[in-house]
Structure 1
């Protein structure tokens, strides 16, 4: 991973790796599936049939039509939904937290220190959709996150660099961006790009788009696109992410994140 904006990174790499290995046992964090492309199944072949053979804007439009008009849930329903989508494979009473990778009791959710809460990966201020049913409750970009780490991330764009986040080894932040741990970099990228396909400004919400900037503020943009694309390539979809996609599709929203099923479509559009 690039560390061009991080000071003295080379000297702490091994130390950070050791801390991560100690803090997050292998059983708590699903391992990446490896560099092989995710292959669609016959059922997803049919689902994506209208998009086949297209590229660029035509592909983006076709995917929007496929994933649009999903079943919406309320913001209160998100708690239970995340208990299913992000369940710890090693402990059905727990969820895996996005940024720290720690396993925490499903019941320990709320707003207090030590709780987990509902992280909007596409920051809800980037388009001013709040917690409205639709982008504010879309499970394809909502993940359980430690309350304190979520607060540190705030509404920052994503980019490489910064200082290591206290209590969350492998995550970095500075004044205008946040870098998640390596194991979920691709997850973050695919969630951001899904939102850009799903919300095109035709349903009363803002037209969400990625760009190559940080400090986007309240504009309906999220960056940094070039870095997100790099993260997508370097951290391909794993079993945990594919399982989330299946649960969201079959039990909740009845739509899918196309960039988990067909990773090559990221480059075909952007």
Structure 2
């Protein structure tokens, strides 16, 4: 299925907007000192499927019945074919659609806090939101040229300061609770997100390890069971990510975001949102 141009996505109707929801769950309660407008958002479940089931089945036809490395390779070919690649500038506008607050279409939901923030408050200053790379740019040195650094399947809105706190750390459990993002924990070399997005983050990382296999002039991204990976093209901790994937299965909101990226922006899907069982078949 060829992707729809970015221009069409930014002009979606009110009806389509109602069906496009972020993949975030409800955030933990915030301290009373926070302003009322910063209340965490409870996601809205889509009224109808965004993409018909037969379309999704056809999309993965070449992967059916496979396991292990053959399955991984087949999925790589599927999600790397006929893909529209965005520029880093276009990502700003795309995130305003993929992560729109269903209760306030002029706002977006932030990944690590679950809070709603004015969609136009994007930038690099305190109080704004910016583009969080769930797979850090430094883990493979891919930068923000069109490619892995602009792949919407792992890019999410995040508070500027919280994004800085996470930095390029790998994912694992433990550490000290983040004062700016309650429910998230961090230590010297790892970041533990809030429970509501643990599985989402795992599936984003696993997607990147399948999508970007060393072609197109970029590094071969792989998940491993380490933290502190630094500038090598690895992201961990795999065992923790697999646990999070099992504990927090895909929600209707996550599925709707996957469909929006597919239909309106990139023309490809995250297979582990559509087929969670494939994670165990590969890893």
Q: Indicate how the Cα distance of structure 1 residues 18 and 136 shifts in structure 2: closer, same or farther if over 3 A, else same.
A: closer
* CA deviation map 1:228-254 (0-9, x unaligned): 011011111112211111111011100
Aligned twin of 1:116: 129
- Residues 32 and 236 in structure 1, CA contact (< 8 A), matched pair in contact too: no
* Alpha-carbon separation, structure 2, partners of 1:115 and 1:194: 28
Structure-2 change in CA distance of 1:166 and 1:43 (3 Å): same
Structure-2 residue corresponding to 1:42? 54
Report the equivalent of 1:57: 69
Equivalent-residue separation in structure 1 for 2:29 and 2:87 (angstroms) = 40
* CA distance in 2: counterparts of 1:161 and 1:101, whole angstroms: 20
Q: What is aligned with 1:206?
A: 219
The residue aligned with 2:278 is: 265
Structure 1 pair 253–151 and aligned structure 2 pair: CA distance change class (3 A):
same
Count residues with an aligned counterpart. Answer: 249
**Is it true that 1:100 corresponds to 2:143 in the alignment?**
no
- Give the Å deviation of 1:25: 4.8
Structure 2 gaps, min length 5: 1-26, 47-51
Q: Which of residues 203, 208, 228 is equivalent to 2:241?
A: 228
Give the conservation status (yes or no) of the 8 Å contact 1:158–1:179. Answer: yes
Residue of structure 2 equivalent to 1:37 = none
Q: Distance in 1 between matches of 2:31 and 2:251?
A: 19
Structure 1's consecutive aligned runs of 4 or more residues displaced over 3 angstroms after TM superposition are: 16-26
| C-alpha distance in 2 between matches for 1:265 and 1:56 | 9
Tell me the CA shift for residue 32 of structure 1.
9.3
Per-residue deviation, residues 194-235 of structure 1 (Å, max 9, x unmatched): 000000012211000000000000000000000001101111
Shift of 1:132: 1.3
